[in-house]
Chain A
Amino acid sequence: MITTTKGEIHESLLEKREGQVDTDTETTEWVEYWFEGELVHRSVHVKLKHAALADGAASSF
């Protein structure tokens, strides 16, 4: 069963669409379920590859 905007619907009654986007900073996977031409479920998983960096510095005399 899939949780949708119309309640729980058996997966066999839904059209499933999946995708993945890979960039330098993240990998994103998404899954959608459509019912009679209407998007009724969309979940997203973003996997960060790296993030914020601060450069430290100490002055010399």
Chain B
Amino acid sequence: MANTTAMCTSFKGELLTGTHNFTPSTGNTFKAALYFATGSLGAATTVYSTTNEVTNTSGTGYTAGGVTVTNANAPATSGTTAYWTPSASFSWSALTVTTAFDAVLIYNSSASNKAVSVHNFGSQTVTAGTFTLTMPTNDATTGLLRIA
């Protein structure tokens, strides 16, 4: 198995029931958690889980559950596409993880940790360093979440 970039199918259904609110300040709290390359996250992921979540090889740079997503970007539309992107990078410092990790799960910690999306990247390790995941441009072409 492998981690695969996908908008979680359960999330698509939950959009129709108004489960998630991406409005800045007054909306839900979203979090971003890292996963080892041995995971199998993807479209079928429905909720945050500690299974295959990154753990520290040493030190305390990574905390289970990940980091809170900074959200200053209101969901927007352009043409026939709706889009949303976190307004800041995800970053972990003083981190040592020597087992390869290659995915981040975005989930809604205000809604029973329901999964939003999985984003796969090349396998990485970090040693006494910093891991930073910079968001794409927030527009209808490259936004982190796009509904066309």
Contact = CB atoms under 8 A, between A and B. Distances in A.
Contacts, number: 102
A48 B127 contact: no
A4 B96 CA distance: 10
Interface residues of B, number: 34
A17 interface: no
A20 B85 CA distance: 24
B111 to A, nearest CB: 18
A52 B6 contact: yes
Interface in A29-61: 30-32, 39-56
Main secondary structure of the interface of B (DSSP, over half): strand
Interface string B89-113: 0000010100000000000000000
Interface residues of A, number: 29
Contact of A5 (B119, B124, B127, B144): B127
A46 B146 contact: no
Given A40-B127, A54-B148, A49 B136 contact: yes
A52 B7 contact: yes
Given A25-B5, A49-B136, A52-B146, A3 B128 contact: yes
B73 to A, nearest CB: 14
In the A-B complex, the 4 residue pairs with the closest CB atoms:
A43-B129, A52-B7, A50-B142, A42-B127
